Amino acid sequence: MSRDALIGWGSAFVIFLIYAALNNGEFLIVDYANLMIHEVGHPAFSWAGYYTTILGGTLLQLIVPIACTLVFIRRGETTAVAVTAFWTFENLLYVAVYMADARRSAMPLVGSDESDWTILFTHWGVIQHDLTIAAWTRGIGWIGMLGTIGWLAWMYVRSDE
């Protein structure tokens, strides 16, 4: 990767982080793509029972970028690995928003009047911990996105040795 590419991608990541921080808890532009993948996940996992169908949306929205990351790791495409890993961790911000709304159920939903996380957290007996679980999920997302940027910079420095 060239120095210019590192600066370009690093700048794009930082701009996105600023955008995400300024819109904390809001639906981000990339979440439209995440939502489409999420909604496909429900029928894709319907063979595995009711609760897995509910969880399937989140599962698929994480599986898709993870699968992309694994493909790019195998190909040795450092920048693509960083972009798809960053996408994976960004998805956790989106998931955390809905987790945090499990008790309130105030957010708009697609095709249902009850959130996936309301159903799942109630089933698992952890609904009273929705905000804590969401905070941890959000934190992992932020740490992962920052770690991805650090990893990309480290890969650049390492390639210059």
pLDDT of residue 107: 72
**Whole-number pLDDT of residue 158:** 79
* Choice among 15-29, 33-47, 58-72 with the minimum mean pLDDT: 15-29
pLDDT band at 159 (very low <50, low <70, confident <90, very high): confident
Sorted by where each begins, the domain ranges of the chain are: 3-160
Read off the pLDDT of residues 101-154 as tens digits, 9 standing for 90 and up. 999 887 766 766 688 999 999 999 999 999 999 999 999 999 999 999 999 999
**Whether pLDDT at 161 is above 60:** no
- Max mean pLDDT among 5-9, 16-20, 24-28 falls in 16-20
Mean pLDDT of the chain: 91
DSSP letters for 13-76: HHHHHHHHHHTTTS--TTHHHHHHHHHHHHHHTGGG-HHHHHHHHHHHHHHHHHHHHHHHHHHT
Which of the four pLDDT bands, split at 50, 70 and 90, describes residue 31? confident
User: Could you tell me the two tokens for 146?
Assistant: 């920052």
Question: Are 141 and 92 within 8 A, CB to CB?
Answer: yes
Specify the pLDDT at position 56. 96
Query: In the 8-state DSSP scheme, what is residue 140?
Result: H
pLDDT for the residue numbered 30: 87
